[in-house]
Amino acid sequence: MKVMAIGTLKPLTAEQRIAYLPAEVPATLQLYLDGKMEQFWMRDNEAGVIFLMTVDSVEEADRLLKALPLGEVDLLTFELMPIGPLSPLGMLIK
């Protein structure tokens, strides 16, 4: 299943940046290498990220994201949306 994860980053202090960001990037890249994250973007309008994930359930996505360094300390929170094909397009090929 595909899940769109829209993350909002709370303001970080300099100490939090030093403590968490060096571990956040490799942990995120590991999810990509594990096939759990397909694409990722930065949000233009506010601090945060958007991930397109391939997981077995929304609960799995939640568990994986909360295990990231910033997720463990509740500095990066996500709105999770299951997504799929635009099925009404099927009417155009009948």
Write down the pTM of the prediction: 0.88
Q: What is the mean pLDDT of the chain?
A: 94
pLDDT at 26: 96
Q: Measured between alpha carbons, how far is 15 from 84 in angstroms, rounded to an integer?
A: 40
Region 2-93: CATH code: 3.30.70.1060
pLDDT at 94 over 80: no
pLDDT at 90: 79
By residue count, the chain amounts to 94
Domain positions in the chain: 2-93
pLDDT at 5 over 90: yes
End-to-end CA distance of the chain: 26
pLDDT at 70: 97
pLDDT at 46 over 90: no
Give the DSSP per-residue string, 71-84: HHTTSEEEEEEEE-
